[in-house]
Structure formats: C-alpha cells, structure tokens
Amino acid sequence: MLRISRGQGRWRQVVWAGVAAALLAGGAGCKQKMSYQPRYDPLERSETFNDRSSARPLPAGTVARGFLRDDPEVFLGRKENGDYATEFPFPITEEVMRRGQERFTIYCTMCHGFSGYGNGMIVQRGFSPPPSFHAPETREKSVGYYFAVITNGYGAMPGHAHQIPVSDRWAIVAYVRALQLSQNASLDDVPAAHRSALDAPPPAPMNSRSADPHSANSHSGGAR
Amino acid sequence: MAQHFHRSMNTIAKVSIFGAVFIIGFSAWLLLEVNRSSNVTNVGIALPQPVQFSHQHHVAGLGIECRYCHTSVEHSAFANIPPISTCMNCHQQIWFGAPMLEPVRASWKSGQALEWNRVHNLGDYVYFNHGVHVQKGIGCVSCHGRVDQMQLIYKDQPHTMEWCLSCHRNPAQHIRPRDQVFNMTWKPEDIGETQAALGARLVKEYNIEPARKLTSCSTCHH
C-alpha cells in the first residue's frame, strides 16, 4: 500500500516536471492570438477573393478621393486641343529642381545614365538603348511630351505612372531640361559667382558605381 | 512518536529554500535567452521565396535605389513590396525567357499576385511606421543590415521590444542626414564628423521627440 502510493508520487513528480518544461519551452516559442488578429495587414493573403489578394483593385468607373484627374494639362501633359503642354503647371523653384534631381536619380539613371546620354547600367546589361536627351530632335520636344512619356511610356520604355506621383514627374521634367542646358552651355552662361563651383570635384554618387562616363564632364565644365 | 524526517532534511530544506531563488532566477534567465535567440527572433534566417530575387544583384550590382521598388517607404507606415509591373519594367526585355523568372511571367499574365514569404513581421499588437523613421533620419541599414549584400533577404536585427527601445532611449547614436537614409555604406566619418557630435546636432535639427515620449507604451501599443 505504502509502496504503491510512493510510486505514484514519483510519477506525479515526473509528470509535473514534464508539464513545467513544456510550459517553459512553449512560452518561449509560441506567439499568442494577439499577434495574429483577425484583420489584414497590407498585401496579406486573403481566402475570400479568387485572386487571393486582400488588396482590391478599384471597381471600374470609381475615383478615389483626391485622385480626380480633371485637368489634362497637369495630368496628361496635353492642352485642351490635344497638343503637348509647353509650360510647367507650377513655378520651378530651386526646391523643385533638387526634388527633380533626386527623383531622376532614383527612377531614370539606370537606363538613361546620370547625364542623360542613354548609357545606364541596365542598358549595358542588354536593355534597348534610349536616345540621348541631348540629341537635337529630343531637345526640341516640349515639356508636356516628356511628362507624357514618363506617364505612359514610349516604345520600349515602360510607363512609370504607378511609381512616380504627378508632381514628381513634372519635377523630373524640369531637371531633364536643366541637364539639357548643362550639356550645351558655355562658361558665359554660368553666373560669375558660381563659376568656381565648376572646378569642385563632383559629389560622390549614391552607389559607388556610377555607370556614366559623362557625369564627370557636366561638373568640370567639359562641354564648354 | 517516530520521527517523520531524517535529520539531514534540515540541511536539505535550508539548501532548497535558498536554492529556489537560484533555480527560479536561472529559469527566468533561460527563458529570456531563448526568447532572444535566433530560434525565436529568426535573425539570420532566409525564407524560401517563389523567385530567387537577389537584393545584392539589383541594389549593389545594378545600382537600383530602394525607392524604385519600395515606393511608399518614405511616407507610409508600410514599405510596399513592388508589384509585378515594376519587375517587368526591365524584365520584359532582360532575361525574358529565363526559367528563373517563370513565376514572375506567370503572375504578369494571369494577374494572380506572386506570394512572397514575409521575413519581417511584428505582432499585430505593435504599431510600426516606416515614414516617421525615414523622415527623421534613421537609415534602412540600422534596422535591416546590409541588404545590398543579401542574396535572399534575412532578418539582420532581432526586432524585439528590447531592441526598439535601445534606440528610442537614445536615437542620437543612429541618426544620420536625411539624404543618406538609403545609402547602405554611409559613415559619419565620410563628412568628417563623429556620430556623437552629428547625432546631438541632428536630434535638435529634426526635433526628435524626447525619450520619455518614445519609450512610452502607447507610442507602439495602441
């Protein structure tokens, strides 16, 4: 009698030790319900819809608040009569220009190169080469044309509307205009106070490999 | 009446009362260490992905900026994963027929989303926001490590509460100029400064909230 009960006691100890160890390990390893609440994170998989995507496309014919595109000159780069716009829809300040430079570097340089000669890294890896922004035919195009190309694409170039907001597209166009001026300017075009800056070394590019042999020129006044 | 316990029990009882402190302490320490280990935090572990997309190749090799793909990271809580159309900007030409890219083309044709496996995933009870960190000068590299050297993405930092707080108590040790947030290799020495001096200056310039606010529970749990 006594022996049996002692035996049971030992078993009980073993079981409790096991339960304690399991709790310890379990507490460390598992996440509670609070971690997975019944709501969607952005882009989370959904079992409800056939395409398994919780991010739903807009139903046809609806316009999201703040996304009404009613001014063709601003949103399509075209005037009422269908011609390309020749003026920017907002004043070009130094701030806009810097924004344009930053956005151009992010979205265009891999193909068009840092100075717009059309020799970026992706082109070196086999993408069709774009024309130089400094070719006479390209320089003649109006600002609306550039805006439309960024928005809708052109030939082998894909449209970038889903990546770049409208105001940034215009800022990029302004910067492309500045690039075109810089490659066809003489020293006299530079205000005297800024000439010394031309001899300064170019700022280090974001990524150590700058694929563009021309980028050095634009800073040292090589196009004189 | 017979003695119930042997004399030695006196010592055993004393030792075990004293020892319990250590046993409980040890268990607690073990629990914390296990919770911090990579088994739980998944640091350094890459997940299988439908396409062998390499950040090393695209970022370091080709010089594509983070924002070309993660377009919303500057202003929204969520850093978006690029849609297939972004890949197709280049891959409609580059390596178009490669078997490696078959899942990308299939998704492009069918419109069915490509399902990447999520590497970073905080519990739903935590609120995190990319926009505020980018705007206040915290580099991607501070939280994600050298993404430009990763074949497949893995977690570089533990992303535990302890880890968040270690920076929120003193952001000056990590803060950098806003225009260097996306630069993976930037160091304060590049502009001839020390992190201590630069950090102190930028914390003022960018109006960083005081540690009291940044470590308050309701900042991240609400």
Is residue A17 in a domain? Answer: no
Closest chain A residue to B71 measured between Cα atoms? Answer: A163
Q: For chain A, give the mean pLDDT.
A: 81
Give the residue-averaged pLDDT of A8-13. Answer: 70
The candidate with the shortest Cα–Cα distance to A69, out of A186, A151, A156, is A151
pLDDT tens, residue order, chain B (222 aa): 677 888 888 888 888 888 888 889 999 888 888 877 777 778 888 899 999 999 999 999 999 999 999 999 999 999 999 999 999 999 999 988 889 999 999 999 988 889 999 999 999 999 999 999 999 999 999 999 999 999 999 999 999 999 999 999 999 999 999 999 999 999 999 888 999 999 999 999 999 999 999 999 999 998
What's the CATH code of the domain at A97? 1.10.760.10
Residue identified by tokens 């009362």 is: B17
The encoded tokens of residue A26 equal 């379990």
Q: Tell me, yes or no, if A207 comes closer than 8 A to chain B by beta carbon.
A: yes
Is residue A81 in a domain? Answer: yes
Is residue A31 in a domain? Answer: no
Domain that holds residue A148: 72-185
pLDDT tens for residues A94-132? 999 999 999 999 999 999 999 999 999 999 999 999 999
Give, rounded to a whole angstrom, the gap between the first and last alpha carbons of chain A.
109
Q: Tell me, yes or no, if A48 comes closer than 8 A to chain B by beta carbon.
A: no
Integer CA distances (angstroms), B93 to A71, B52, B98, in order: 34, 18, 11
Q: Rounded to two decimals, what is the model's pTM?
A: 0.88
- With CB atoms and an 8 Å threshold, state whether A163 touches B86: yes
Label residue B113 left, alpha or beta by phi (over 0 means left) and psi (-120 to 50 means alpha): beta
- With CB atoms and an 8 Å threshold, state whether A42 touches B92: no
Q: What is the pLDDT of residue B42?
A: 84
Amino acid at B80: N
The encoded tokens of residue A104 equal 């151009």
Is residue A126 in a domain? Answer: yes
- Enumerate residues 27 to 86 of chain B having a beta carbon within 8 A of any beta carbon in chain A: 27, 30-31, 34-35, 39-40, 59-60, 62-65, 67-68, 71, 78, 80-81, 83, 85-86
Q: Decide if A123 contacts A212 (C-beta within 8 A).
A: no
The candidate with the shortest Cα–Cα distance to A121, out of A38, A207, A9, A59, is A207
Distance in angstroms (rounded) separating the CA atoms of residues B85 and B68: 12
Total domain count, chain A = 1
Cα atoms found within 13 Å of the Cα of residue B108, Cβ hemisphere only: 15
- With CB atoms and an 8 Å threshold, state whether B85 touches A41: no
Is residue A80 in a domain? Answer: yes
Instruction: Using an 8 Å CB-CB cutoff, list chain B residues near A215.
Output: none
Q: Decide if A161 contacts A152 (C-beta within 8 A).
A: yes
Q: Decide if B46 contacts B52 (C-beta within 8 A).
A: no
Closest chain A residue to B31 measured between Cα atoms? Answer: A28
Is residue A128 in a domain? Answer: yes
Is residue A93 in a domain? Answer: yes
Quick one: A121 exposed, middle or buried, by C-beta within 10 A (0-12, 13-18, 19+)?
Answer: buried
- With CB atoms and an 8 Å threshold, state whether A105 touches B65: yes
**DSSP-derived secondary structure letter, A154:** E
Is residue A98 in a domain? Answer: yes
